[in-house]
Amino acid sequence: MANTTFSGPVRSEGGFQTVTKDATTGAVTVTATLTGSTAGFFGATPVAQPDTTGTTTGFTAGSGTAVLDDSTFTGDTGTAAYTIGDIVKALKDLGLLAA
């Protein structure tokens, strides 16, 4: 693929995708998708920017009912549960928070 540099805005009616291409097989993998006001990363389905008032379900306390360093959260979606430390590390690894 060629590299192109633009000095003005880049526009597309069909959205944008960031992809990687395997050097051996040539297989293309979508790593980010931007369509309108939605975004999806690492092949996830694009969604609108979240606007929540506080998801309170999907929480498992580490000990008792207080939020502790070993408490986990699912966000009430899926089965994967994360500690706050997991979430902060992922945001830093993605460059969404300063390391």
- Determine the structural domain holding residue 47 and report its residue range: 14-51
Whether the per-residue pLDDT at 55 is higher than 80: the answer is no
Whether the per-residue pLDDT at 35 is higher than 80: the answer is no
74 and 38, same structural domain? Answer: no
* Total-model pTM: 0.53
Q: What per-residue confidence (pLDDT) applies to 18? A: 86
Per residue in 68-98, pLDDT (tens digit) is 878 888 888 888 888 888 888 888 887 777 8
- Whether 45 is covered by a domain: the verdict is yes
- Whether 69 is covered by a domain: the verdict is yes
- Residue 60: φ, ψ to 5°: -125, 115
Per residue in 4-33, pLDDT (tens digit) is 888 888 888 888 888 889 999 999 998 888
93 and 69, same structural domain? Answer: yes
Q: What per-residue confidence (pLDDT) applies to 27? A: 93
44 and 57, same structural domain? Answer: no
Cα-Cα end-to-end distance for the chain = 32
Structural domains in the chain (count): 2
